[in-house]
Amino acid sequence: MSTPSRSEVAPERWEREDEHRRKLAQATNAALRGKTNNAFRVTLTPNATLTTVSVSFARPGGVAKLAPETASAAASVTRVYACSVNGAIEVHHDSVPDTDRTFGVVLVG
């Protein structure tokens, strides 16, 4: 499993106001460019029925949306679903030996 680089989170407080405003602007601009730290890439574990992606802010009730990125992933899309649980995204899938079933995952909520 690999994940994209993470954008810096905006601090709620900072000693210097001018530096705080700069950090808030950087975080806002990153979000406007799509860097919202909620997109991941996961390759399903071969010969297993569950692949887990650790995500500290994941919680029950969140929505994990999958998008196939390889031909093998696209061929198995009807047999794959994801759930958001405390601290992780669980991807449930069929057990096959394929090693290249890679999905993009977006977590919302």
Residue with the two structure tokens 């210097």? 16
Token pair for 96: 């096959």
Q: Give the whole-angstrom CA distance, residue 108 versus residue 85.
A: 12
What would the mean pLDDT of 89-107 be, rounded to a whole number? 96
Maximum separation of any 2 CA atoms in the chain, in Å: 55
Contacts of residue 25, defined as CB under 8 A and 6 or more positions apart, other chains included, come to none
* Residue 80 pLDDT: 96
Sort residue 102 into left (φ over 0), alpha (ψ -120 to 50) or beta: beta
Mean per-residue pLDDT for 8-33?
A: 86
pLDDT of residue 1: 41
pLDDT at 109: 80
**What type of residue sits at position 10?**
A
DSSP letter at 42 equals E
To the question of pTM greater than 0.85 for the whole model, the response is no
- pLDDT tens sequence across 57-81: 999 999 999 999 999 999 998 899 9
Q: Report whether pLDDT(7) > 90.
A: no
